[in-house]
Amino acid sequence: MALITESLVTATDKKIVLLVLDGLGGLPQLPGGPTELEAATTPNLDKLAKEGVQGLLDPIGPGITPGSGPAHLSLFGYDAVEHNVGRGLLSALGGDFPLEDRDVCARGNFCSLDGSGNVTDRRAGRIATELSTPLCEKLEKDAQIEGVEIFVRPEKDHRFLLVIRGEHLSDQLEDTDSQKTGVPPLKCKPLREEAARTAKIVDEFSDKARRVLENEKQANGVLLRGFAKRLPLPTMSDRFGLRAAALADYPMYRGLARLVGMEVLSKDPDLKARFAEVKKSRDGYDFFFVHFKKTDAAGEDGNFEKKVKVIEECDAALPVLLEAKPDVLIVTGDHSTPAMMASHSWHPVPVLIHGNNVRTDDTTAFGETQASHGGLGRMPMMHLLPIALAHAGRLQKFGA
Amino acid sequence: MALITESLVTATDKKIVLLVLDGLGGLPQLPGGPTELEAATTPNLDKLAKEGVQGLLDPIGPGITPGSGPAHLSLFGYDAVEHNVGRGLLSALGGDFPLEDRDVCARGNFCSLDGSGNVTDRRAGRIATELSTPLCEKLEKDAQIEGVEIFVRPEKDHRFLLVIRGEHLSDQLEDTDSQKTGVPPLKCKPLREEAARTAKIVDEFSDKARRVLENEKQANGVLLRGFAKRLPLPTMSDRFGLRAAALADYPMYRGLARLVGMEVLSKDPDLKARFAEVKKSRDGYDFFFVHFKKTDAAGEDGNFEKKVKVIEECDAALPVLLEAKPDVLIVTGDHSTPAMMASHSWHPVPVLIHGNNVRTDDTTAFGETQASHGGLGRMPMMHLLPIALAHAGRLQKFGA
């Protein structure tokens, strides 16, 4: 199907805006109650839903809980199962690290370990970037391994990028992060024989890091996940003829956007500023991806009220985005992060499409319940982009 | 999935009727307003919907706008991407032209050209068949090309069939119809090197045709599209054990029906007469395809009121079809042709299934909005035929 879509692509001057509220989908606190999105007061989103059409998207497939990487690839019209992108690669791309083909990279977390070496906090109290930056410098200086070159670069808060540069390295490795507390970080397990040497290097790095950090109170250990090498993907320009731009304040999402050939514009942490830049840059691009992280962060923290509040914050900023007069405006999430679960989930994500040639349905407000009987029905997230292209007049007729 | 369906086929005496209102799916004139189907007064269709089950069908895939050829193949249970049928082939089949394997055929339009050779009307004012027939005879006589044999046969109105007969011809050619006015017809572009000679022959024909037609006021040029050679398809009898019959007044749809092995019964332009023939022929067939073109024509003309009116015309005739007592009655379109867009579109098509063992839903009238929360949900159009077979008791259990 993807190949047909690509063969039908044509150009128009219609602009598509994809606004992603990360982890938007939620769950009610009590059966029958409102989800975070439904509890939020969102007059602007509700108006768009009423004038547009709603539905539900499965990021990867029914029952599958996605990470942010594959979920965003689906949003961008890619088969995320075919193109399985490691978290480490996203971190590298987001941080503008000049990755080489031979490099293996991973997402690192500073974590807190107790006296017996068990993890007490997987995020080291979410230490601030100002505190984690000198720790990264220290690691890059003092935790080098013979035979390879080690790079440790800060990301936001407790997160960092690890890059191992050398010959004959493999990314076929399991995470050292068990996602649990009360147990020590895992030994790195090779998934294939050829990765045995790289796994040893990873373990050596983890041990050295612990020695380097031993006097730290909070951040005295490291957890590594998403080992990956560089992955060549066809760009959105190649596939869909779109000059695409990204406006995201978190490095990983910028990295993801670059991976599919988007140009990264504003990374202003203020959502309104990013919205304003869409208007400013309107003529230069066909497709704008605007990312809003706070919904996912509140969901991950299990904070229902906070998630409601940041959805309302996004809604209040929307008029600035509407000033850009997108011909096709899509609002959705990359996946669900219900505060009740304090984690990503498999529940399908509500989506609304507003604009050119939309067939309206009888829904009146943006939310999971109404979306479940909206005019779009429920479909794989990967199909969203072809629909966006259709509304923008960017797909020719198939056959006669 | 298709192979499984085929392996489960069994025979019953249950009759399936598929009534296709071409281009049925529509759009509201204003957001939230009724579509053409919803605006129409359709007591008979509404009763069927209330007693039956509704849903939405994607002819090819979300976002893909289909031509009539692939859309009908999907309705008949074929993978239209795998079997991509050129328009020329449909014209040839519809016109009963005795096509040979070496022939290349195309759909032709008489068009109007101005003094500089630019297209002013892609359909030459939709000139009547009585006027286009002698022009076709003239072309077949005076626009022959050395080394091949040229056939030009009238279809309905401004449309004709071009057949080029000769050795080593290729159908890997782009249309000469740019679908635009204000520009000249395109040169024929070969899609592969092997088609270069055929492309030259096509251009030579177009030039000759222009000279032959130079004294015509309206129809002084030709546009060619959908170059194709004969395509062997398994029949509906082979695949689904169905003795299938078609009742269609437009040649292309009869051609399509023949392509999948249907027998063509009535081509009476009166819908009631075609409906009456279903009753008359009930015993001889298992599956009846009844085609109604006027909905698509009104949509293509951008005439919302007209499309409403012809839907009402179809509804008023329905009791005649019901006299045939179909065990399974399906009413749907092959694709959407919203009057607001005056063209085919990608929007999913409403469908209703009435009859044997239907699980009713809570919809009360036939229309896109109710269909979007009907019991069938939204699904690929290709899945409709297996469901029809199931309701007719024509599919055995899979596995034990």
Is the backbone of residue B190 left (phi > 0), alpha (psi -120 to 50) or beta? beta
**CA gap A292, A18 in Å, rounded:** 11
A78-93 per-position pLDDT tens digit = 999 988 887 788 778 7
SS3 A109: strand
Nearest Cα to A262, choosing from A16, A58, A8, A81? A16
B152-163 per-position pLDDT tens digit = 999 989 999 999
Per-residue pLDDT at B360: 97
Closest residue to B368, CB basis, from A359, A373, A398: A359
Measure A292 CA to nearest chain B CA, in Å. 26
Tell me how far CA of residue A199 lies from CA of A170, A227, A338, in angstroms. Answer: 9, 10, 35
pTM score, two decimals? 0.84
**Higher local confidence (pLDDT), B252 or A64:** A64
* Strand-strand pairing, A263-264 and A244-247: parallel
The maximal CA–CA distance of chain B, rounded, in angstroms, is 72
Name the one residue in this structure whose structure tokens are 């029952």: A63
A208-256 per-position pLDDT tens digit = 999 999 999 999 999 999 999 987 789 999 999 999 999 999 888 998 9
Q: Which residues of A touch B66 (CB under 8 A)?
A: 397-399
Interface contact flag, A4 B64, Cβ < 8 Å: yes
Interface contact flag, A395 B70, Cβ < 8 Å: no
Rounded mean pLDDT, A179-198:
96
Give percent above pLDDT 70 in chain A: 100
**CA gap A114, A117 in Å, rounded:** 5
Interface contact flag, B81 A4, Cβ < 8 Å: yes
Per-residue pLDDT at A92: 82
B133 membership: H or E segment, kind and range: helix B129-142
Interface contact flag, B80 A399, Cβ < 8 Å: yes
Per-residue pLDDT at B194: 94
Q: Which residues of A touch B68 (CB under 8 A)?
A: 400
Considering chain A, what is the average pLDDT of its residues?
95
Burial of A49 (0-12, 13-18, 19+ CB in 10 A): buried
**CA gap B108, B162 in Å, rounded:** 6
pLDDT greater than 80 at residue A366? yes
Measure A133 CA to nearest chain B CA, in Å. 46
Closest residue to B65, CB basis, from A50, A358, A395: A395
Q: Which residues of B touch A8 (CB under 8 A)?
A: 64
Give the chain B residue whose CA is nearest to the CA of A376.
B372
Interface contact flag, B63 A360, Cβ < 8 Å: no
Cα-based angle B177, B180, B182 (whole degrees, multiple of 5): 115
Tell me the residues of B at the A interface, defined by beta carbons under 8 Å apart.
Answer: 27-28, 31-33, 35, 56, 60-71, 80-81, 84-87, 90, 107, 225-226, 338, 340-341, 344-348, 368-369, 372-373, 377-378
Residues facing residue A218 across a β-bridge: none
Measure B152 CA to nearest chain A CA, in Å. 19
A246-285 per-position pLDDT tens digit = 999 988 899 899 889 999 998 899 999 999 999 999 999 9
Cα-based angle B320, B322, B323 (whole degrees, multiple of 5): 65
Tell me how far CA of residue B178 lies from CA of A168, B184, B215, in angstroms. Answer: 53, 9, 24
Per-residue pLDDT at B83: 87
Residue B226, C-beta contacts closer than 8 angstroms, at least 6 positions apart:
A400, B86, B87, B88, B89, B90, B91, B106, B107, B175
**CA gap B261, A157 in Å, rounded:** 66
What are the average pLDDT values for consecutive 10-residue runs of chain B, which has 400 residues? 88 97 97 96 98 98 94 96 82 80 94 96 95 97 96 94 96 93 96 96 97 95 92 91 96 89 93 97 98 97 98 98 98 98 98 96 97 96 98 94
B293-351 per-position pLDDT tens digit = 999 999 999 999 999 999 999 999 999 999 999 999 999 999 999 999 999 999 999 99
**CA gap A303, A310 in Å, rounded:** 11
pLDDT greater than 80 at residue A197? yes
Per-residue pLDDT at B255: 86
Per-residue pLDDT at A141: 96
Per-residue pLDDT at A90: 79
Identity of the residue numbered A313 = E
Give percent above pLDDT 90 in chain A: 88
